[in-house]
Amino acid sequence: MARAIGLDFGTTNSAIAVVDGGGAPRLGTFDWSGGETPTFRSILYFEKDEDERIASVAGPAAIDRYLAADDPGRLVQSLKSFLPSRDFVTTSVFGDAWRLEALIGRLLMRLREGAEARLGPLDGPIVVGRPVRFAGAKSAEDEEYALSRLRAAYWNGGFGDVVFEYEPVAAAYFYEQSLDHDELVLIADFGGGTSDFSLVRVGPGREKGGDAQPILGTAGVGVAGDAFDGKIVRHVVAPELGQRGEHRSIFGRVLLMPEWIFAHLERWHHLSFLKTPKTLQILHDLRREAVEPEKLDALIHLVRNDLGLALYRAVERTKVELSSRHESRFVFQNGPAAIDVEIYRGDFMTWIWDEVQQIEACLDGLLEECGTEPADIDAVFLTGGSSFVPAVRGLFLERFGVEKLHAGDELTSVAGGLALRAAEL
């Protein structure tokens, strides 16, 4: 039997798995800080060597390289979030215009090379993931556009003929491995860019193969971990960078800082867009008139040195800590940017309340559409990194009770399920 491959290109993390001749999926692993990891950070990094040749690294190695560089090159991340955006066609990397499909293609190519170093050739049938709704897509046309760009990216990455599967459906096939009886299961996958649901009947009795339809419904919303990070930036970081600060206009009036600057700051894949001569000029002009110029110095330092990765690592650390503790200290020290703030889980829960409500509405919509009551559902499988957030988990505890909740393999279940699906097809 041929080798079957599953590839989950995620907003934050990607993973790849193979099924050789039936059986359980095996994960690809990648070099990382002297060890290895099955999660391939969805980050692409370009640097120039001494001969001015441009090289690219992706995944966990990209972060290591970026952090070790004296004069860091260009880092791109959260690329999946741009797929439906018609504003993002190309971006400049050391003066060359790169299309989004080429950037993602390069990342996928590096992922493949890394995985092949340990797993051997990856040339069997392949099933790849897609969110139910792409983050930021506003219409069916946007969805189509995003999907066609993702298909082109796989092509560019050296994966010819890919079959798409909804990510939360793949997670259902992964969960199914643990069953010795049939169940109606609700899958909830909370990632970096999207929260996705599926309602699927799985178990040993499921008819396997291409045409079988065990899926009762799917739903998704473009709100997940990146949006939670954005709220920490809004409430903790932005005020320290002059967001609520005033500056005096030439006419002597007191004005507030322009909001668009902070809107970019809140979405970490947009932060690097601020590093343009025009924006830096605006920031310098604002600094001259600012009531608290030291806060603008910190903001300019952050933008000019492209410190998005460092900032968001600090934000993520705090968010992750608040999943297991009731308080955390947000610390970010870099040149004139020095932020040290105590955060309580209760505050964080208030900040992300709107997002949690959107997730809840999406879940309710799916149950209603399928005519399913919580009592009809045998089990709930929570997966994806953002499923650790207590406010998210709380939605399910309340509705389904602790006995029905299952969780696990948060960062790799989708890839495993995709490989199982590829083996089935």
Q: Which stretch binds ligand ATP (CB under 6 A): 84-92, 109-117, 206-214, 380-388?
A: 380-388
Q: For the CB of residue 406, give the shortest distance to Mg ion in the complex, in Å.
A: 17
User: In this complex, which beta carbon is closest to ligand ATP, that of residue 29 or of residue 386?
Assistant: 386
Whole-angstrom Cα distance, residue 207 to residue 119?
A: 30
Whole-angstrom Cα distance, residue 63 to residue 43?
A: 8
From 109, 310, 320, 341, residue interacting with ligand ATP (rule: CB under 6 A): 320
Whole-angstrom Cα distance, residue 361 to residue 375?
A: 18
Q: Which stretch binds ligand ATP (CB under 6 A): 7-15, 17-25, 58-66, 255-263?
A: 7-15
Q: For the CB of residue 67, give the shortest distance to ligand ATP in the complex, in Å.
A: 18
Whole-angstrom Cα distance, residue 362 to residue 385?
A: 19
316 binds, among Mg ion, ligand ATP, none (CB under 5 to 8 A by kind): ligand ATP
- Provide the 3-class DSSP secondary structure of residue 338: strand
411 binds, among Mg ion, ligand ATP, none (CB under 5 to 8 A by kind): ligand ATP
From 384, 418, 419, 420, residue interacting with ligand ATP (rule: CB under 6 A): 384
DSSP lists the bridge partners of residue 20 as 3
Q: For the CB of residue 320, give the shortest distance to ligand ATP in the complex, in Å.
A: 4
Q: For the CB of residue 121, give the shortest distance to Mg ion in the complex, in Å.
A: 26
What number of H helices and E strands is found in the chain?
13, 22
Contact 357, 384 (CB under 8 A): no
Binding mask 31-70 for ligand ATP (x = CB under 6 A): -----------x----------------------------
Q: Which of residues 172-231 bind ligand ATP (CB under 6 A)?
A: 191-194, 224-226
Q: Does 157 bind ligand ATP (CB under 6 A)?
A: no
Beta strands in 38-193 (DSSP E): 40-41, 43-48, 54-58, 74-77, 90-93, 96-99, 126-130, 162-166, 183-190
Question: Cβ contacts of residue 25 below 8 Å, gap of 6+?
Answer: 6, 17, 18, 19, 174, 415, 416, 417, 419, 420
Q: Does 38 bind Mg ion (CB under 5 A)?
A: no
From 389, 419, 422, 423, residue interacting with ligand ATP (rule: CB under 6 A): 389
328 binds, among ligand ATP, Mg ion, none (CB under 5 to 8 A by kind): none
Q: Does 407 bind ligand ATP (CB under 6 A)?
A: no
Helix or strand (DSSP H, E) at 319: helix 308-324
Nearest residue to 165 (alpha-carbon basis) of 7, 380, 363, 19: 7
Binding mask 226-265 for ligand ATP (x = CB under 6 A): x---------------------------------------
Q: How many residues bind ligand ATP (CB under 6 A)?
A: 24
Q: Which residue has the tokens 């799916």?
A: 366
User: In this complex, which beta carbon is closest to ligand ATP, that of residue 320 or of residue 395?
Assistant: 320
Q: Does 319 bind ligand ATP (CB under 6 A)?
A: yes
User: In this complex, which beta carbon is closest to ligand ATP, that of residue 45 or of residue 388?
Assistant: 388
Q: Which stretch binds Mg ion (CB under 5 A): 9-17, 215-223, 304-312, 318-326?
A: 9-17
193 binds, among Mg ion, ligand ATP, none (CB under 5 to 8 A by kind): ligand ATP
Q: Which residue has the tokens 């009592």?
A: 375
- Token reading at 393: 């988990």
| Cα 268 to Cα 29, 148, 179, 271, 315, distances in angstroms | 26, 24, 39, 5, 10
Phi/psi at 376 (nearest 5 deg)? Answer: -75, -20
Residue 394's Cβ-side half-sphere holds a number of Cα atoms within 13 Å equal to 8
Q: Which residue has the tokens 């090379």?
A: 113
Q: For the CB of residue 103, give the shortest distance to ligand ATP in the complex, in Å.
A: 16
- Provide the 3-class DSSP secondary structure of residue 252: coil
Chain positions contacting Mg ion, by CB under 5 A: 10, 191
**Which residues are at the interface with ligand ATP (CB under 6 A)?**
10-13, 42, 80, 167, 191-194, 224-226, 316, 319-320, 323, 384-386, 388-389, 411
